[in-house]
Structure 1
Amino acid sequence: MNKLTLMTRLVFGAAVGTLALTSCAGAGDDETAPESAPTQDETASDASDHHAGAHDHDPDGGPPPEGIQEATDPRYEVGETVVLNADHMPGMDGAEATISGAFDTTTYSVSYTPTDGGDPETDHKWVVHEELEDPGEAPLAPGSEVVLDAEHMPGMAGAEAAIDRSTDETVYMVDFEVDGMEMTNHKWVVESEIQPGN
């Protein structure tokens, strides 16, 4: 009887000890387990977020707005290779680009708060007169309040804006690559932000 009791106690004690060790090891594994590697979809999503965070512009700028006049004698012709001297987005300054459109109009720098709740944009370059809702005669004076009818960035269309300044330089749409993203018909770059290609 004593031997049976002793054996029962030993077996029971060993079982409890094994359970306790298993439990501790499990808890330790959970605390030190490495994070799983991101899936291909997560990696693609992160890359997409990076591009959006870097410049927020749609890679395809689409056609020019209705009513805008093509430039009659632009310094840079459609199809010509140029170098950009603009820093509207990271990686743009010094980028090689191809002219995809040249126009004669009034071009504005504007400040506005996006309609999607994004952070206010100040001195946003550029919008053209034809991308304003019922703007009246050009040029509009600095401080004029307008409503944007452009979709260069999220929350831009329909936003209330103030004119910061204007220029009557020839304004261009350009195709170029920035941060690995192909931008087509990017709107806008004014003539003083362009230099001849090499």
Structure 2
Amino acid sequence: MAIKKFCVSFFLLVLVVALTGCSTNQGTNDSSSSMSHDMNRDHDQHAMSDRDVPQGLVATMNPEFKKGSKVTLKTDHMSGMMNAKGTVAGVYTTNVYTVTYHPTNGGKVVRNHKWVIQQELQTHNKGLLKTGTKVKLNASHMPGMMGAEATIDSAKQTNIYMVNYTDTKTGKVIKNHKWVTEDELISR
């Protein structure tokens, strides 16, 4: 009797394993993949941002690093960014801000987010805004950013770069990352 119970249990176990191996998640939005995506949120979600250059942004004529220049990133806005090898995809002169904002999707407050440019703010003021100014974001670098209420933490007029780079941790090529400043790049 014990052998019969063992055989039935073993058969059921083999059946469960076989059926599990045959299942697929095609066409579904599996919560476990969503969860692991959230755990790598800063890089993966930032990389999925809107790739278009904001309207009204004009290319800089004589930047330190021209479009197509080979560079090394000297910043850590995102995981895998520090010392990453990259190429300049575009360079523009504009007002550049770090901001603290409350995501519209209910996430935690994001402090000192680098960088948001003048053309990504919902404001009629075209001049350099002061630290402490309240603004509404018109950028989709990260989920919950579009339409979020924000406070300007720092402001400056400078050249701002869009770059393609290879993530130092994953080896993944990140295209059209927005934004890095000139002082966050070195030639290679």
TM-score, structure 2 normalization: 0.80
Q: What letter is aligned with 2:174?
A: M
Pairing of 1:55-134 with structure 2 (within 5 A): 55=43, 56-59=45-48, 61-134=50-123
The count of corresponding residues between Structure 1 and Structure 2 is 177
Q: What letter is aligned with 2:158?
A: E
**2:161 maps to what in 1?**
172
**Taking structure 1 as reference, are residues 22 and 53 closer, same or farther at Cα in structure 2, changes over 3 Å only?**
farther
Q: What letter is aligned with 1:53?
A: R
**Taking structure 1 as reference, are residues 154 and 54 closer, same or farther at Cα in structure 2, changes over 3 Å only?**
closer
Output the CA distance in 1 between the equivalents of 2:183 and 2:162.
Answer: 14
**Taking structure 1 as reference, are residues 49 and 68 closer, same or farther at Cα in structure 2, changes over 3 Å only?**
same
**Unaligned 5+ runs, structure 1:** 1-17
Give the share of equivalent positions with the same residue, in percent.
34
Deviations 1:1-28 (A, max 9, x none): xxxxxxxxxxxxxxxxx2x775588779
Conserved in 2, the CA contact under 8 Å of 1:135 and 1:146?
no
**Unaligned 5+ runs, structure 2:** none
Once the two structures are overlaid, the 10-residue window that deviates more, 154-163 or 174-183, is 174-183
Once the two structures are overlaid, the 10-residue window that deviates more, 79-88 or 53-62, is 53-62
Deviations 1:73-112 (A, max 9, x none): 1000001110000101111010011001100101000000
Task: Give the RMSD, CA atoms, in angstroms.
Answer: 3.2
Pairing of 1:1-198 with structure 2 (within 5 A): 18=1, 45=33, 49=37, 52-55=40-43, 56-59=45-48, 61-178=50-167, 179-197=170-188
TM-score, structure 1 normalization: 0.76
